[in-house]
């Protein structure tokens, strides 16, 4: 008899890996809002890590728990990069089997790997062996193109235990590899949350998280009645203050902040340090545009940062934008 896997309650809520969005500055910002949410890197290809000149594995220790998402299909390369990630202290290593972009398909990884479950097993097995006690996981879709039957998904899920992997995030859409852009693939294929629920019932030994179309924490809690975890992406990026409610509402722990402006002193200090080491104000501030979403003054906040941020050489635009929004809110309690 197969027994249900023991659920890691510390990982029931995560922020999705999003290319060009969830970089190290974004993750530092998100960590100021939630102590417990699991944060994912952008997908980083094995080729970039092995052959690139930049340090693609760099992150801030404040980001923990943080997961590295790898893109690749060569088991040896994935194992090598996994070993590097373990040395750097990542809390988990994730294999991307869901990205539908042409560039990723040309590299024979991402969503197209769903059609090769045996290769996925080989990749994950090599990664888990290199990771040792650090968990390896997979993020995938429900299907690809015309291969979108439930049986097709099951063939992939069946190989995971053979690779020693039990953690899987299912984006509740299939991917169209032909004819749709990655952006269109986030909206056009219909959502099928029920299929993810069915997968959890049929594979109780897997730790299954759901992703796709979840807009708020109320919806997240509803999904948690059927699966082991939830992953939110654009909803969090566009309204990051949502994260401030995660610790209390999802984990039953006290929240870190009371008001959106409470995060500004820590972020001002972080931006100053980034600028002092040769970085740009906009590298960080661009991730903060949605902080005051739905608050009075949110438009002024976004406009001022967007207009002044790209050429800013100091943290002054942050303080100026804060003064604008707090005047609208009627709360002067912000100290530089």
pLDDT of residue 106: 57
pLDDT in tens, 196-216: 999 999 999 999 999 999 999
pLDDT of residue 183: 73
Are 285 and 264 in contact, with CB atoms under 8 Å apart? no
Mean pLDDT of 165-173: 97
* Residue 333 confidence (pLDDT) above 70: no
The tokens for 106 are 């040309």
pLDDT of residue 39: 98
pLDDT of residue 127: 98
pLDDT of residue 175: 83
Mean pLDDT of 100-107: 63
Using a pLDDT cut of 90, give the percent of the chain over it: 82
* Residue 15 confidence (pLDDT) above 50: yes
* Residue 75 confidence (pLDDT) above 50: yes
pLDDT of residue 294: 87
Longest dimension (CA), the chain: 63
pLDDT in tens, 138-161: 999 999 988 899 999 999 999 999
Mean pLDDT of 235-256: 96
* Residue 335 confidence (pLDDT) above 60: no
User: What is the rounded CA–CA span in Å between residue 81 and residue 196?
Assistant: 30
pLDDT of residue 110: 80
Burial 103-142 (b: 16+ CB within 10 A, else e): ebbebebbbbbbbebebbbbbbbbbbebbeebbbbbbbbb
Q: Write down the mean pLDDT value for the chain.
A: 92
For residue 184, the tally of other CB atoms under 10 A from its CB is: 12
* Residue 6 confidence (pLDDT) above 50: yes
Are 45 and 69 in contact, with CB atoms under 8 Å apart? no
Q: Do the annotations mark residue 213 as ligand-binding?
A: yes
pLDDT in tens, 222-240: 999 999 999 999 999 999 9
Catalytic machinery residues: 99
Q: Do the annotations mark residue 69 as ligand-binding?
A: yes
Spatial CB neighbours of 333, under 8 Å, sequence gap ≥ 6: 261, 326
Sequence-ordered strand ranges (E) for the chain: 13-15, 38-45, 66-71, 92-97, 136-140, 167-171, 207-211, 229-232
* Burial (0-12, 13-18, 19+ Cβ within 10 Å), 30: buried
pLDDT of residue 111: 83
* Residue 301 confidence (pLDDT) above 80: yes
* Residue 300 confidence (pLDDT) above 80: yes
Q: Do the annotations mark residue 233 as ligand-binding?
A: yes
For residue 311, the tally of other CB atoms under 10 A from its CB is: 10
pLDDT of residue 176: 82
Q: Residue 4: which pLDDT band, with cuts at 50, 70 and 90?
A: very low
Q: Which residues pair with 73 in a beta bridge?
A: none
pLDDT of residue 1: 31
Spatial CB neighbours of 116, under 8 Å, sequence gap ≥ 6: none
Using a pLDDT cut of 70, give the percent of the chain over it: 92
Distances (CA, A) of 262 to 114, 132, 241: 44, 40, 11
* Residue 185 confidence (pLDDT) above 70: no
Q: Do the annotations mark residue 211 as ligand-binding?
A: yes
Q: Do the annotations mark residue 96 as ligand-binding?
A: no
Q: Indicate the fold that domain 260-329 takes in CATH.
A: 1.20.120
Q: Do the annotations mark residue 226 as ligand-binding?
A: no
Q: State in words which class domain 9-249 has.
A: alpha beta
260-329 and 9-249 share a CATH fold: no
pLDDT in tens, 24-45: 999 999 999 999 999 999 999 9
Delimit the domains of the chain by residue range: 9-249, 260-329
């Amino acid at each position: 008899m197969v027994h249900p896997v023991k659920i890691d309650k510390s990982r029931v809520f995560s922020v999705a890996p999003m290319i060009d969005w969830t970089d190290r500055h974004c993750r530092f910002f998100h960590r100021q809002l939630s102590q417990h949410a699991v944060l994912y890197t952008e997908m980083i290809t094995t080729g970039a890590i092995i052959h690139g000149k930049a340090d693609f594995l760099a992150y801030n220790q404040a980001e923990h728990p943080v997961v590295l998402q790898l893109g690749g299909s060569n088991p040896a390369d994935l194992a090598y990069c996994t070993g590097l990630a373990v040395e750097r202290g990542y809390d988990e290593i994730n294999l991307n089997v869901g990205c539908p972009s042409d560039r990723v398909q040309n590299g024979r990884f991402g969503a197209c790997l769903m059609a090769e479950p045996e290769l996925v097993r080989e990749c994950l097995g090599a990664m888990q062996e290199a990771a040792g006690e650090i968990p390896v996981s997979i993020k995938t879709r429900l299907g690809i193109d015309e291969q979108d039957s439930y049986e097709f998904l099951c063939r992939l899920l069946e190989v995971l235990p053979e690779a020693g992997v039990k953690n899987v995030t299912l984006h509740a859409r299939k991917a169209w590899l032909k004819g749709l852009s990655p952006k269109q693939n986030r909206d056009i294929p219909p959502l099928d949350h029920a299929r993810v629920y069915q997968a959890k019932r049929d594979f109780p030994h897997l730790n299954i998280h759901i992703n796709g179309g979840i807009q708020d924490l109320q919806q997240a809690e509803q999904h948690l009645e059927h699966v082991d975890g939830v992953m939110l992406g654009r909803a969090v990026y566009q309204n990051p203050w949502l994260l401030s409610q995660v610790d209390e509402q999802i984990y039953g722990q006290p929240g870190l902040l009371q008001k959106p402006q409470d995060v500004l002193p820590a972020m001002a200090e972080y931006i100053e340090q980034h600028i002092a080491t040769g970085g740009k104000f906009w590298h960080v501030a661009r991730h903060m545009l949605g902080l005051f979403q739905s608050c009075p003054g949110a438009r002024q906040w976004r406009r001022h940062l967007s207009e002044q941020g790209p050429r800013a050489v100091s943290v002054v635009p942050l303080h100026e934008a804060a003064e604008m929004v707090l005047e609208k809110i009627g709360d002067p309690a912000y100290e530089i």
